[in-house]
Amino acid sequence: MAAQLYKTSSGRLFHAGAVAVITVGLPARGKTHSSRSLCRYMRWMGVATKVFSVGNYRRERFGSMPEDWFDDSNVEAARIREQISDECLDDMIAWLTDGGQLAIYDGNNIKESRRRELNDKLLAHDIHPLFIEFVCNKPDIVLDNIKHVKISSPDYVGWNPEDAVVDYGNRIKQHEAKYETIADTTLPFVKLINAGEQLIVNNCVGYLQSRIVYFLMNLHINRRTIYFARTGLAIDERSYKIDADLSDEGKKYAAKLRDFVVAYREKKITESGVSEDQDRPLVWTSTRKKAKQTAYPFMEAGFPVRGHSVLTQMNPGEADGLTNEELKEKFPEEVVKARENPYRHRYPRGEVRICFCHG
């Protein structure tokens, strides 16, 4: 996880206040996938984040609904949909008011009047809104999303896959008839077009909002495989300061790791018929010696390797080289503080930065 250098008296970061992201767009445009990904990213930054899904609220209360549920001519269904949306919105506002910092309101919100209503209500509660519109005019991307994501949702349990695709396509057509793209430039919004081919940013102000834009610029929907592996053993595992080389055992491990990963990838490609992207770095390491040396066999095999300092384990400072027993004896109060607040604690002369991977 990323560093938290401080927190305000409210517990929120960066003096950014409360922020609400409101998704906009037709079904099968990537709103839910992006909402969940953004939530994980913001939590990784240390920001108290939560997704409020209108679809989940509807499923929890009514389960799978018939096709005419999304038809505006069904007056009763329209009334219930609005009631559910407002209930989800009220819960989101209550959570933000109670100390949450970033909430994501995952719904279609395809009408201009609804977006203006949301904007005004959020501002009245001192919550900064940011609308993200997902636009996709490429049928192949939409169809792929329907086949691989949407028909596996709780709405289609027990359905024939082909029938589910047709039903979801009809649902999209019902929404298309009433869809209004964002045109009000007084609203803060981002338009993500064709899964990242183009990004339009309007009236987006604030640190968290800027981080969200940065995240969207790097968001992708293509399937990728990530392999995690520990480094080989170093000559001196206990000392951070020494930054020791790999031991003989560690070098053997590095060679075996390369052989295993290469064979495993080749097997996957043969079985699936889909090749992984060779232009992206295969191996990312920290800047520590044992991490870079663990990657040497991959370099020798012709695979690209890239080092990143953010992957380096945190400097333990004066706790360097101590066993757990020695640590408790020398820094008993610090051990208690570390247990109570591991995210922001640091040992004397150590780093406060906490990483998601050890070097």
Provide the residue-wise pLDDT of the chain in tens; the chain has 359 residues: 444 545 555 567 767 789 999 999 998 888 988 999 999 999 988 899 999 999 899 888 876 665 666 666 778 878 888 999 999 999 999 999 998 999 999 999 999 999 999 999 999 999 999 999 999 988 888 888 787 777 777 777 778 888 888 888 888 888 888 899 999 999 999 999 988 889 999 999 888 999 999 999 888 766 677 888 999 999 888 877 888 899 999 999 999 999 999 898 888 878 766 655 555 557 889 889 999 999 999 999 888 888 888 777 777 788 877 788 888 888 888 888 888 877 677 888 876 544 333 33
SS3 label, residue 270: helix
**Residue-range domains of the chain with CATH:** 18-217 (3.40.50.300)
pLDDT at 280: 56
Best CA proximity match to 207, nearest among 25, 55, 17: 17
- Whether the model clears a pTM of 0.75, i.e. scores above it, the answer is no
Residues 327, 173: Cα–Cα separation, whole Å = 64
pLDDT at 223: 64
Residues 290, 323: Cα–Cα separation, whole Å = 20
Query: Exactly one of 68, 72, 98, 106 is catalytic; which is it?
Result: 106
Best CA proximity match to 36, nearest among 55, 10, 17: 55
Q: Is 106 an active-site residue? A: yes
Residues 35, 102: Cα–Cα separation, whole Å = 11
Residues 304, 327: Cα–Cα separation, whole Å = 39
pLDDT at 275: 59
pLDDT at 273: 62
pLDDT at 182: 96
Burial class (CB in 10 A: 0-12, 13-18, 19+), 150: buried
Check if the beta carbon of residue 202 is closer than 8 Å to that of residue 245.
Answer: no
DSSP 88-155: HHHHHHHHHHTT--EEEEES----HHHHHHHHHHHHHTTEEEEEEEEE---HHHHHHHHHHTGGGSGG
